Amino acid sequence: MRHVALKTRPVMALLPLIFIATGGITIYFVVLPELDWSATQKPPELEVMLVRPVLRAWLKRNASRQENPLQSTQANLVEANKIYGCKTESTFPPAGTFKKSATEVAEIMARKKVSQGGLGSAIRMVQMFINRGGRNLSHSRKKQLEKAKHLLQEKARQEHSSDSTG
């Protein structure tokens, strides 16, 4: 009967595994407790860079199937302005504004009485209304609101170019 010698792994082969385990334990017990987990500060750029593709993939898989629970109404716009920190009550457009044509929406939103923060504020309000409407907004209505937003953006560009040349 032949005796077969068993091959044993030398300790040197285990060094990478020991190194990885030591590094993991160090991170777990030394580094992680030192991190600010309160979410009161803006995350570091590296974290944002790592999370962004994961978030986009999740949204692509799930968001398109989700129904927006909020109807796109004037009351919801008022509530959204409060949530997102608008400081004045006078920034609310008249009722029914977002049911009008693109040019009418752009004209109304461009008024100082409606958008005291200027055209940038008007553009953000139209975009916020589009976002809050979500899937409850018909395709034609969304198209009209997008057109109104582009009209406001063009007007803002014209004002900016006339300010810089004048």
Instruction: Say if 45 falls within a structural domain.
Output: no
In the chain, the number of structural domains is 1
Supply φ then ψ for residue 150, to 5 degrees. -65, -35
Within a domain: residue 60? no
Which residue has 């994961």 as its token pair? 54
Please give the backbone phi and psi of residue 104, each rounded to the nearest 5 degrees, phi first.
-65, -40
Retrieve residue 112's tokens. 């100082």
Token pair 């916020």 in the structure block, residue: 128
pLDDT digits (tens, 9 = 90+) for 79-124: 777 777 766 555 678 888 889 999 999 999 998 888 878 888 889 9
CA separation (Å) from 11 to 7, 14, 26, 162? 13, 5, 22, 75
* Helical residues (DSSP H) of the chain, grouped into ranges: 11-26, 45-62, 74-83, 102-110, 119-133, 139-165
Range of the domain at 92: 74-161
Q: Provide the pLDDT for residue 86.
A: 65
Whether 120 maps to a domain, the answer reads yes
* Contact between 108 and 97 (Cβ < 8 Å): yes
Q: Global pTM?
A: 0.47
Residue at 111 is within a domain: yes
Kindly state whether residue 55 falls inside one of the protein's structural domains. Answer: no
**Residue 112 in domain:** yes
In a domain, 118, yes or no: yes
Q: Is residue 6 in a domain?
A: no
Q: For residue range 43-80, list pLDDT tens digits in order.
A: 788 888 888 888 888 888 877 666 667 776 777 777 77
Residue 149 neighbours by CB distance under 10 Å: 22
